[in-house]
Homo-oligomer: A and B are copies of this chain.
Amino acid sequence: MTRIDIPRTTGLIRDAVRADDGFVPLHAPRFAGAEWRYLKDCLDTGWVSSVGAYVDRFERDLAAVFGARRAVATVNGTAALHVALRLAGVGQGDEALIPALTFVATANAVRYCGAVSHFVDSEWATLGLDPDALDVWLTETAERRAGGPVNRRTGRRIAAVVPMHAFGHPARIDRLLAVAADWEIPVVEDAAESLGSLLDGAPLGARGLIGATSFNGNKIVTTGGGGAILTDDDALADRAKHLTTTAKQPHPWAFIHDEPGFNYRLPNVNAALGCAQLEQLPAMLADKRRLAERYRAVFRGVEGARVFEEPAGARSNYWLNALVLDDPTDRDPLLEATNAAGLMTRPVWTLMSDLPMHADCPAAPLPVARDIAGRLINIPSSAALGAERAA
């Protein structure tokens, strides 16, 4: 196992980002378009809140970019996932299969439904959920029943599977859809990180029953905080809109709420920011791809570390670039050295199964997820770093 030279590796990252000194964040937003104008329009018209033209436009723009028939904007990605899981039928006492290697929002959203996360393994090729390992694990653990498979050990219904496209690299969603269809498990696509990514030439986010995405401040396109539910199913989209807006029946004045709903709508002012940001998506994707290529060039021939590349058939958004180390003992010293040098880096998330609050959650064997978590770090990835002017 080849060890890396920590100071030299730190220097290579500094070279790639072409920033002589000073702090380089992991991912900074860029506001170079109509943000200002659209925000002013919100103030001038007084439409800053729940209803407004930018919400409608943002939803239309999102549907197009994610290749979904419908998008329903939400206050953040966690809210979108929560409602997507609910609409997929995840309820009290169910289990949802999620990768152990994901952000905590996925597991929290399962919990908000009264359900239990059931952690499954990832694969190195995509960093996402491994559909083949899933199939093997289901064969070992689950029993086919009417209404969906049941976990033999816990007796709980397996109500959904939630692939997540880590750092913008598409998971093998088509193989996963086949496995899930065979097991009669609805697929809820967690597209929080994959805005603009393509697989086999087409966008992804609503290839399963329903999906969710995020526009948090660290995402390629940000609305401050925001998210969306994605689906090709009009009835599900209508239900999503209803549930995210306190389940109020339309009426000129009366307050009739016909089921327990949520206050999950995206304010118009945040949607305005999103509309302006989406207009710049092609430029941001180009800049991020240029930065990814620069990382690859800088690390070419370096032993002990490689830059993670998009999976076969995918055109990734390279939301967060990643460095994969041969030797896991290099990880923490490199994190220490880079952050001390003003280059913001981070490991992937703590495996969900390792958080004490998930001690009672079932989990498949997780050898690959654990290997990824031990050897992969994210490195600075702002679009601005890849802009031509920085070349």
Interface residues of A (CB under 8 A from B): 28-31, 35-36, 39-40, 43, 46, 48-50, 75-79, 103-105, 108, 111-112, 216-218, 222-225, 246, 248, 252-263, 265-270, 273, 335, 339, 345-347, 349-350, 355-357
Contacts and interface: CB of A to CB of B under 8 A. Distances in A.
A193 B104 CA distance: 33
Contacts of A79: 263
Contacts of A40: 36
A259 B357 contact: yes
Contacts of A253: 335, 339, 345-347
Nearest to A338: B253
Nearest to A271: B224
23 contacts: A29-B46, A31-B46, A35-B43, A48-B217, A48-B222, A48-B224, A48-B273, A49-B216, A49-B218, A49-B222, A49-B224, A50-B217, A78-B263, A105-B246, A217-B268, A224-B268, A225-B267, A252-B339, A253-B347, A254-B350, A255-B350, A269-B269, A269-B273
Contacts of A36: 40, 43
Copies in the complex: 2
A148 B104 CA distance: 34
Contacts of A263: 76-79, 105, 108, 225
A235 B330 CA distance: 39
Which of A35, A36, A225, A263 has most B Cβ within 10 Å? Answer: A263
Contact of A356 (B29, B111, B258, B357): B258
Contacts of A269: 224, 269-270, 273
Contacts of A30: 46
Nearest to A251: B346
B270 A224 contact: yes
Which of A36, A75, A112, A216 has most B Cβ within 10 Å? Answer: A75
Contacts of A266: 225
Nearest to A268: B224
A356 B259 CA distance: 8
A39 B217 CA distance: 15
B224 A261 contact: no
Given A255-B346, A269-B270, 16 more contacts: A31-B48, A39-B43, A49-B216, A49-B217, A50-B216, A75-B225, A79-B263, A104-B261, A108-B246, A224-B268, A225-B265, A225-B267, A253-B345, A255-B347, A256-B350, A270-B270
A89 to B, nearest CB: 19
Nearest to A346: B253
